[in-house]
């Protein structure tokens, strides 16, 4: 296929480089020509600075920009590529953001965290596709199968729920790692000592229901430890971490209390 990109950031970088192994990357557009040139050189493509320069003889245009920029991009580019399938790569943007302004619209969303420094395990990365026309779904299915062994046809509502869940599973958990590092760094303790614990926790969460794997002082209702930890954070002048520690601990306790109540009610119903 002949494919062009709008965007030269992390998602565009990984997608364009991988797709170029089996398809022709025609053009890379970026607001900063030098950024487009860097990626274009790696994909044997042309770097462009204006939408009017787009080659109209392409199969797919992939919009890989920030979520808030997608609506503006489709509004500006649609008139130049009226007959081209245009897709975005966002997990949190509804298909109708494109389809309201362009007939042949779609979504090509890889559920993964992207960094320029790390390669992507494409065969195991879930890819979610959606289109306004069934004929275009075949195109995206072919393209997705070239990248991943895990391709799913989810609608926008399903995909938006996945993106929300991903923020909890990825962004928030990474912030917790950052906070953990701040705590040990303050006492000159090696953060790498936590690596086995982090990896084992992730392994358990991916092999079991995370709720059944919950451990820790909040789960046990150990008020002495909870109080000690919060006092430690207060003494260190970290009221921000103390407040978050308290909120998360309360959340765990409420979750466990709710589950215990549900089990109790189910047991009563069974005996009636």
- CATH classification of 159-261, choosing from 1.10.1040.20, 1.20.1250.20, 3.40.50.970, 3.40.190.10? 1.10.1040.20
Half-sphere CA count of 265, side-chain side, radius 13 A: 6
Q: 166-224 pLDDT, tens per residue?
A: 999 999 999 999 999 999 999 999 999 999 999 999 999 999 999 999 999 999 999 99
pTM for this predicted structure: 0.79
Q: Where is average pLDDT lowest: 55-69, 220-234, 248-262?
A: 248-262
Q: 32-76 pLDDT, tens per residue?
A: 999 999 999 999 999 999 999 999 999 999 999 999 999 999 999
Over residues 12-21, mean pLDDT: 96
pLDDT at 117: 83
Query: Sorting pLDDT into bands at 50, 70 and 90, what band is 1?
Result: very high
Say yes or no to pLDDT of 267 above 70. no
Torsion over CA: 100, 114, 145, 38 (sign): positive
Q: 131-159 pLDDT, tens per residue?
A: 999 999 999 999 999 999 999 999 999 99
Return the CA Rg of the chain.
Answer: 24
Sequence ranges of the chain with CATH classification 3.40.50.720: 2-154
In degrees, to the nearest 5, what angle opens at C-alpha 115 toward C-alphas 111 and 119? 80
Question: Per residue in 69-103, is it b (16+ CB within 10 Å) or e — as a string?
Answer: ebeebbeebbeebeebbbbbbbbebbbebbbebbe
Say yes or no to pLDDT of 265 above 80. no
Percent pLDDT > 90 in the chain is: 90
Classified by CATH at the fold level, domain 2-154 comes out as Rossmann fold (3.40.50)
pLDDT at 261: 80
Say yes or no to pLDDT of 264 above 80. no
pLDDT at 113: 86
pLDDT at 157: 94
Q: 158-174 pLDDT, tens per residue?
A: 999 998 999 999 999 99
Say yes or no to pLDDT of 229 above 60. yes
Sequence ranges of the chain with CATH classification 1.10.1040.20: 159-261
Q: Give the whole-angstrom CA distance, residue 237 versus residue 234.
A: 5
pLDDT at 272: 58
């Amino acid at each position: 296929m002949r494919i062009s990109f709008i965007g030269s950031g992390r998602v565009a970088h990984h997608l364009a480089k991988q797709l170029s192994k089996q398809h022709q990357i025609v053009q890379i557009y970026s607001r900063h020509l030098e950024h487009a040139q860097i990626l274009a050189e790696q994909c044997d493509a042309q770097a462009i600075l204006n939408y009017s320069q787009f080659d109209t003889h392409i199969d797919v245009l992939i919009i890989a920009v920030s979520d808030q920029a997608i609506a503006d991009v489709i509004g500006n580019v649609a008139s130049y590529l009226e007959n081209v399938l245009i897709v975005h790569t966002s997990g949190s943007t509804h298909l109708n953001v494109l389809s309201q302004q362009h007939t042949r619209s779609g979504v090509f969303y890889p559920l993964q965290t992207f960094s320029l420094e790390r390669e992507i395990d494409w065969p195991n990365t879930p890819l979610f596709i959606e289109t306004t026309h069934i004929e275009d779904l075949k195109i995206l299915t072919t393209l997705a199968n070239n990248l991943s062994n895990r391709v799913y046809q989810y609608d926008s509502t399903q995909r938006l729920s996945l993106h929300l869940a991903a923020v909890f599973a990825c962004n928030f958990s990474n912030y917790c790692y950052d906070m953990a590092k701040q705590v040990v760094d303050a006492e000159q303790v090696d953060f790498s000592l936590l690596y086995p614990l982090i990896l084992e926790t992730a392994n358990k969460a991916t092999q079991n229901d995370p709720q059944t794997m919950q451990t820790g002082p909040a789960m046990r209702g150990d008020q002495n430890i909870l109080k000690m930890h919060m006092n430690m954070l207060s003494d260190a002048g970290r009221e921000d971490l103390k407040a978050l520690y308290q909120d998360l601990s309360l959340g765990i306790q409420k979750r466990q209390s709710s589950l215990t109540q549900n089990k109790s009610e189910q047991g009563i119903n069974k005996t009636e």
